[in-house]
Amino acid sequence: MSLIKEWVFTTDHKRVGILYLIGSIAAFAVAGLMALIIRAEQYNSGLQIVDTQDTYNVFLYFHGAAMILGFLIPGLTGFMANFIIPLQIGARDVAFPRLNSFSVWLFWAGIILALLTFVIPDKPDVMWTGYPPYSVTTAGNTAFYVFTVHLIGFASILASINFIVTIIYMRAPGMGWNQLPMFSWCTFGAFIIQLIFVPVLAAAVTMLLLDKYVGTNFFNPTNGGDVLLYQNLFWFYSHPAVYVIFLPAMGALYEIVSTMGKNPVFNYKAAVYGGVCGIVIVAGEVWVHHLYVAGMPDWLRIGQMVTTLLISVPVGFMVISLWGTLYRAAITYNIAMLYAAACFFLVLLGGLTGIPLAMTVLTVNLSETSFVHAHFHFVMAIFAAFAVFASVYFWFPKMTGRSADTKLGVLAFWLNNIGVQVTFWPLFIIGLQGMPRRYADYDMFAGLNFEKYHHISTYGAILTAVGAALMIINWVWSAAFGEKVKNGNPWGSNGLEWTHAACPAGPGNFPEDVTVGPEWSAYDYSKYGK
């Protein structure tokens, strides 16, 4: 009983982080199950697995909403930011611990509300985007969608304030901005983006709620509203949200690649001031690429094609820096490093397929096809999910004081890694030939023989599902019964969380206050092995 009380009322950032992890993995598991059903349904044309198209639409809605709002954003900015940042910057906790605890329970309320989708009548079926007028006229319960966004949105805004203040004011004495570890820098950027843009999403879905239940006409053209207003507001947040996911994922990769390769981060300042700051600056000027076929003015579509393509510049700074960190490294592979290695190829695959999609005129053919579906799964969903998985393995000893099972972990890694490639490559191919997204039934394309590609894709999804299940079993089992780590710094890192805190880190994080000198760097391995 006291244990439950301890966790429910905890203000310790590490426990809050683990609560985020449990909630987001729950969302991941249920939404992953939905993905499996969706793939099984698409295995053949026509309806076989689900009873009606409407059920299929509910599963699509849940998969998208729960994966993005319930798994990726809370996994990266909830779990990882909470667990890692205070330890990494030498702070004893976040700036506002009670606010932090409030955020995580708001997030949990959001997850529970999302899960209620399956028991309420009139299940929401508005996709994770909730476009009106459909979301207003549908019989589905759009309010559940809106309130889920509200709860998780508030959690995000509070977390943003909390971590921005923490990083600015609570760094260990002596730690300058140019010594700030990469994960903290990247996540700092992500929280700035969140603080600016989440309120816009909250406003958009609130207008949706008013339109549906109160009778306002923000999005109703027959009474002077505009259907595109919502899409602009929605993507004004939701494109930057991609960077809220991308940046912490990149940050974690820097930590893992640098530590396991015993190499400093290559061209750190370019990655920080060009990459992180550049992404924060361009994040808000590219949303129209989600509306390339939505009848926006031509000058806007062309202008934002240029800004969208220019994202490659700040991302390029980070990519060059990440690749450079491998140069003449001394890599020791563990499960975290395997996931990190896979991320190199995922970010290439997902990033480069974004280039045709950045081009307005090519998107005229590609938008809303499986090509887009495969693109954003690689660059946002799988890349970021692999970064989360890598981080769980990497910081596992710090969380639990135990190490995860290597054999099971490696087996699950290969199932996941091969599974996602097998799942999404066929979707690129049929997407180019016109296979639309969000279809349960594709009889009209009978002549193009899409079924065999859907077969391959479904087999890939099964591999991934087995891999993900084994991975979660591994975490749960190892957290309880895994081998205890004897060494407080198993990976030989020079980060403060490894050199100054125990495994697992106790209350208050550090036995004594941490200060760092001007020469200190988290990526200085000169003392390693001596």
| Residue numbers 269-288 binding another protein by CB under 8 A | 269-270, 274
Indicate which single residue of 312, 406, 499, 521 sits in contact with another protein (rule: CB under 8 A). Answer: 312
Closest contact distance (angstroms) between CB of 199 and another protein is 25
228 interacts with another protein by CB under 8 A: yes
User: How many Cβ atoms sit within 10 Å of the Cβ of residue 3?
Assistant: 7
485 interacts with another protein by CB under 8 A: no
Indicate which single residue of 320, 411, 466, 479 sits in contact with another protein (rule: CB under 8 A). Answer: 320
Half-sphere exposure (CA, 13 Å, Cβ side) for 21? 23
For residues 215 and 223, give the distance between their C-alpha atoms in angstroms, rounded to a whole number: 11
Please, which residue, 143 or 359, has the CB nearer to another protein? Answer: 359
For residues 256 and 286, give the distance between their C-alpha atoms in angstroms, rounded to a whole number: 30
Backbone angles phi, psi at 402, to 5 degrees: -125, 165
97 interacts with another protein by CB under 8 A: no
Closest contact distance (angstroms) between CB of 88 and another protein is 20
Picking from 235, 210, 202, 199, the residue whose alpha carbon sits closest to that of residue 135 is 210
122 interacts with another protein by CB under 8 A: no
Residue 382 makes CB contacts below 8 A (sequence gap 6+) with: 346, 350, 420, 424
331 interacts with another protein by CB under 8 A: yes
Closest contact distance (angstroms) between CB of 372 and another protein is 10
Q: In this structure, what token pair is assigned to residue 124?
A: 């929401």
**Cis amide prior to 504 (ω within 30 degrees):** yes
Burial 471-502 (b: 16+ CB within 10 A, else e): bbebbeebeeebeebeebbbbbbbbbbbebbe
List the interface residues with another protein, window 405-464 (CB under 8 A). Answer: 433-434, 436-445
333 interacts with another protein by CB under 8 A: yes
Closest contact distance (angstroms) between CB of 356 and another protein is 5
Please, which residue, 352 or 473, has the CB nearer to another protein? Answer: 352
Please, which residue, 162 or 360, has the CB nearer to another protein? Answer: 360
CA distance readout (Å), 37 to 30, 56, 172, 462: 11, 9, 48, 10
Indicate which single residue of 112, 281, 330, 502 sits in contact with another protein (rule: CB under 8 A). Answer: 330
Asked if 421 and 460 touch (Cβ cutoff 8 Å), the reply is yes
264 interacts with another protein by CB under 8 A: yes
For residues 22 and 280, give the distance between their C-alpha atoms in angstroms, rounded to a whole number: 29
Please, which residue, 515 or 526, has the CB nearer to another protein? Answer: 526
Q: In this structure, what token pair is assigned to residue 73?
A: 């954003």
Letters for 55-84 (x = contact with another protein by CB under 8 A, - = none) are --x---------------------------
In terms of C-beta density within 10 A (0-12 exposed, 13-18 middle, 19 or more buried), how is residue 160 classed? buried
For residues 378 and 349, give the distance between their C-alpha atoms in angstroms, rounded to a whole number: 7
Closest contact distance (angstroms) between CB of 161 and another protein is 31
Q: Quick one: DSSP state of residue 212?
A: I
Please, which residue, 11 or 433, has the CB nearer to another protein? Answer: 433
Segment interacting with another protein, rule: CB under 8 A, options 19-27, 79-87, 190-198, 329-337:
329-337
**Could you tell me which residues are beta bridge partners of residue 402?**
484
Segment interacting with another protein, rule: CB under 8 A, options 15-23, 243-251, 308-316, 509-517:
308-316
Closest contact distance (angstroms) between CB of 467 and another protein is 20
490 interacts with another protein by CB under 8 A: no
For residues 384 and 70, give the distance between their C-alpha atoms in angstroms, rounded to a whole number: 13
Letters for 198-217 (x = contact with another protein by CB under 8 A, - = none) are --------------------
Residue 434 makes CB contacts below 8 A (sequence gap 6+) with: 369, 445, 448
529 interacts with another protein by CB under 8 A: yes
List the interface residues with another protein, window 136-165 (CB under 8 A). Answer: 137-138
Closest contact distance (angstroms) between CB of 445 and another protein is 7
Indicate which single residue of 283, 341, 387, 496 sits in contact with another protein (rule: CB under 8 A). Answer: 341
Compute, in degrees rounded to 10, the torsion defined by CA atoms 92, 94, 97, 102: -150
Please, which residue, 513 or 524, has the CB nearer to another protein? Answer: 524
User: How many chain residues touch another protein (CB under 8 A)?
Assistant: 92
SS (H, E, C) 405-449: CHHHHHHHHHHHHHHHHHHHHHHHHHHHCCCECCCCCCHHHHHHC
CA-based R_g, the chain, Å: 23
332 interacts with another protein by CB under 8 A: yes
364 interacts with another protein by CB under 8 A: yes
Indicate which single residue of 324, 401, 488, 490 sits in contact with another protein (rule: CB under 8 A). Answer: 324
Closest contact distance (angstroms) between CB of 28 and another protein is 23
